[in-house]
Structure 1
Amino acid sequence: MASRGQETKELILANTEALVLERGFAGTSIDEILKLTGLTKGAFFYHFKSKAALARALVERYWQQDYAMLEEFSRRADELSEDPLQSMLIFLKLFEEFIEGLEEPPAGCVFASYVYEFYQFDDGIKQFIADGFKQWGKMYQQRIEKIAAKYPPKIAIDAGELAETLMCIIEGGFILSKSLCDTSLTARTVRQFRRHLQLVFEP
């Protein structure tokens, strides 16, 4: 069970994330966070010594939650099939179903929001974001390499570039789905990537 302090910290982070995805980090003030959470400045600064400390905690929280979700999809996919191609297709299908189950388009990606405002952040946060993207890419690349080892591709491919393509599809899908108010857009683009893998690798 979370302590009261942990609950307060999570309240601040959850509400700050919503504000950042809506108006950016620079456009989010501590006063707005306090108004949204109903907390005092004393309560806020007890948990975060500065807005910079909040920025770091927010990006770490986003990474932990997002990577945990992808690891869960990966675990479930591997349980359902030991075949590397089928496991990857299931993994992508699970992600599609998650997106399609949302009532509203994804609010966006905290990493992307920070990248748009890189001038706001120190080198530590910039490196954390870069390392996070690399870790996501590594997960996808390792899966694609296992597929290629078992199923010779019908066209020349680069596992790293395919992994980058998938990340671009997901990140770009978030932007477009929010702009066009289309909840299923990201799922559709991931579905096209899944079909591309089938065309490239299926015997």
Structure 2
Amino acid sequence: MPRDGTATRTKIMDAAQQMILQVGLMGTSIERVIEEAGVTKSTFFYHFRTKHDLAAALIERFADEDLHHLTDALTKAEQLSRDPLQQLLLFVGLFIEFAEQLEEPFPGCLYASYCYQSGAVSKEMMDEVEKMMRFWRAQVSRKIEEVQALYPTRIPIDREEVADHVLTTFEGAFILSKVMNEPKLAAQQLVQCRNYLELLFKAD
């Protein structure tokens, strides 16, 4: 019976992702990934023809995981409440709960790593990053539209701009936490984001 190479492929990808988050894509070499993953050169090239193929597989996996995190959180929030405003606040709250459990700063975001070194990344990979950013915007914006149908805002807003603000806070909170080496800082900033959303709509 032939061996399933999924575990080996995952080990290579995990080693490469950790390295990219630490030293960037340009600082990550195939030789270092092979050494860190503890595989042979032939094994690496069996799974990935080039470093570009590895980078593409990583961003595809990261985007898929991100998609599931987003949709799972929205689904759970909608199951916990029928009120759109509460759903929006619960959605952010679920990420706060995740961030509060971190004992070390979140290791980083591949989206940010690829953007910082976009010259070393193909257009197809950057298109994948953009697609996920737009998906986040669309999903959060849709929820804000549902909230606006029931609750007036205290100030005029553009729902896509507010959605972008939420995404910016999510991304920036984890970056700031890593830079400052303060694991709980991400959760604190997400709390501020939730406070802003709660204050934005007149729920009384």
Q: Which amino acid aligns with 2:129?
A: I
Quick check: 2:12–2:37 contact (8 Å CA) kept in 1? yes
Quote the residue 1:71 is aligned against.
Answer: 71
Instruction: Provide runs of 4+ in structure 1 moved above 4 Å.
Output: none
Gap runs ≥5 in structure 2: none
1:186: how far off? 1.5
1:149: how far off? 1.1
Q: Which amino acid aligns with 1:67?
A: L
Q: CA–CA distance in 1 between the matches of 2:117 and 2:10?
A: 23
Alignment of 1:37-56 (within 5 A): 37-56=37-56
Q: CA–CA distance in 2 between the matches of 1:54 and 1:195?
A: 40
Gap runs ≥5 in structure 1: none
Quote the residue 2:29 is aligned against.
Answer: 29
Deviation by residue 1:142-200 (Cα, 9 ceiling, x = unmatched): 11111111111111111100011111111111221001111111211111111111111
Deviation by residue 1:12-34 (Cα, 9 ceiling, x = unmatched): 11111111101101001111111
Q: CA–CA distance in 2 between the matches of 1:175 and 1:76?
A: 26
1:66: how far off? 1.6
Quick check: 1:169–1:186 contact (8 Å CA) kept in 2? no
Quote the residue 2:126 is aligned against.
Answer: 126
Quote the residue 1:12 is aligned against.
Answer: 12
Q: What TM-score comes out, normalization by structure 2 length?
A: 0.95
Quote the residue 2:107 is aligned against.
Answer: 107
Quote the residue 2:167 is aligned against.
Answer: 167
User: What do you get for the CA RMSD once the two structures are aligned?
Assistant: 1.0
Alignment of 1:74-85 (within 5 A): 74-85=74-85
1:4: how far off? 2.9
Quote the residue 2:188 is aligned against.
Answer: 188
Deviation by residue 1:84-142 (Cα, 9 ceiling, x = unmatched): 00011111111001011112111111000000000001111111111111111111111
Q: CA–CA distance in 2 between the matches of 1:161 and 1:186?
A: 21
Q: Percent identity?
A: 37
Q: Which amino acid aligns with 1:26?
A: M
Q: CA–CA distance in 1 between the matches of 2:50 and 2:110?
A: 19
Q: CA–CA distance in 2 between the matches of 1:147 and 1:94?
A: 18
Q: CA–CA distance in 2 between the matches of 1:15 and 1:137?
A: 30
Q: CA–CA distance in 1 between the matches of 2:189 and 2:144?
A: 18
Quick check: 2:63–2:128 contact (8 Å CA) kept in 1? no
- Number of equivalences: 201
Quick check: 1:77–1:91 contact (8 Å CA) kept in 2? yes
Q: Which amino acid aligns with 2:144?
A: I
Deviation by residue 1:44-95 (Cα, 9 ceiling, x = unmatched): 1111110000010000101111221121111111110011000111111110
